[in-house]
Amino acid sequence: MQPLKKLERAKVAWLDRPGLKKLLEVLNAGDGAARLVGGCVRDSLMDRPIGDIDVACSLHPEETMKRLEAAGIKVIPTGLKHGTVTAVSKGEVIEVTALRRDVETYGRHADVAFTDDWLEDAKRRDLTVNAFYLDGDGTLYDPCNGWPDIEARHVRFIGDAVQRIREDALRILRFFRFAAQFDEATLDEEGLTACIAEKDLISGLSGERLAQEMRKLLSYPAAERIVPVMSDCRILDMVLPDNAGIDTFLDYIRREKQLGLCSVTARLATLLPRDEERSRKMARHLRLSGKETAELACLAREYPELEGELTERDLRRLVYHLGRAVVQFHLVGHGTVEQVAYVRHYSIPVFPLQGRDLLKNGEEPGPELGQRLKKLEQFWEESDYTMGREELLKIE
């Protein structure tokens, strides 16, 4: 595999991290060869903060583990069957995967064989902008000709698009998710056609996988350009069978971006019907956590108390009772810049009393204790959350 170019050291200063440097030195000793691969390389090329660090290695995983452990580096066999181990080196968490080639694929799964052929490893990856390799000295390798695509912000499958999608239907969502990372991305025409033709395969993906990709996609700057494309070609319907279309989403995300905000859950909520039960149903479809499901349900409700003119005191009360996420969600669509900024930075107060404080103050245990605590909380709210513990305990 011929190198493409050597990157300026300033661009890859992150390669000097002690933990990463040590790991590469160990794996590159003797007959070993290890290079950075995937997202961390792409982030470096695009001058973005480096996220997860992945390393491709010519050694078999057992040899990788043996060498790292001998060098005092902690190793966890997170995916040994598929050639992957996780190394913890001087605080750096790095995933190391042996070079592989697919023997046979079964949707999201494949029988793989380990190899020392870098081109074989590259060809089994999904997109050209995801198949760069980087040596520890900053030498860049581009076996799938992704450099023109990264410069043009062009998202293209490696090899035959239909075949790559049939190997793993999740690649349909990755195709759009990668495009959402690039502000001015263009979608490869052959790839888009293949995604549309094979979109029914999405129904075989787990909710967790769908949610994982949608969270990432909705967090990116160009989501407002990419989600409409997904809607037009009915791929959004495959991911969210009960969606509300994109009009509310587009209005919300543009307003949100003007305010310097980005809430993935709120963006997802605008794609769902404004109906609590239907929202919960889609949350179950995506296998969302209980916390995410509850938040989506809250955002789907109507809150008459949020209508009309709202003072700062009103906002404090509403945030205390409804939560910051609900109030901010409403204000993005209907409030002022000043109100949004106020709610965003407001420190929600904590009621200074608990049941044990009343017991220590001579109150008797029982149902009346809870009622008394509730009454004192009302006094505290009427004081605009200013009354302190001792002051509240003096109230008869």
User: Where does the pLDDT of residue 110 fall: very low under 50, low under 70, confident under 90, or very high at 90 and above?
Assistant: low
Q: Is 338 helix (H, G, I), strand (E, B) or coil?
A: helix
Q: For 330-349, what is the mean pLDDT?
A: 92
**And the tokens for 293?**
């499901």
Query: Model confidence over 246-257: pLDDT tens digits?
Result: 999 999 999 998
Query: Model confidence over 207-220: pLDDT tens digits?
Result: 999 999 999 999 99
φ, ψ (nearest 5 deg) of residue 309: -75, 135
Residues 92 and 83: beta-carbon distance below 8 Å:
no
Q: For 348-372, what is the mean pLDDT?
A: 84
Give me the percent of the chain exceeding a pLDDT of 90. 76
pLDDT for 283: 96
Q: Is 74 exposed, middle or buried (0-12, 13-18, 19+ CB in 10 A)?
A: exposed
- CA-based nearest residue to 36, from 28, 394, 359: 28
Q: Terminal CA-to-CA distance of the chain, rounded, Å? A: 82
Query: Model confidence over 242-292: pLDDT tens digits?
Result: 999 999 999 999 999 888 889 999 999 999 999 999 999 999 999 999 999
Q: Is 91 exposed, middle or buried (0-12, 13-18, 19+ CB in 10 A)?
A: exposed
Query: Model confidence over 50-75: pLDDT tens digits?
Result: 989 999 999 999 999 999 999 999 99
- The lowest-confidence range among 126-135, 336-345, 355-364, 382-391 is 355-364
CA dist 236 and 242 (Å) reads: 10
pLDDT for 355: 84
pLDDT for 104: 58
- CA-based nearest residue to 279, from 294, 262, 264, 291: 294
- Enumerate domains of the chain plus CATH numbers: 1-148 (3.30.460.10), 304-345 (no CATH), 355-393 (no CATH)
CA dist 211 and 241 (Å) reads: 13
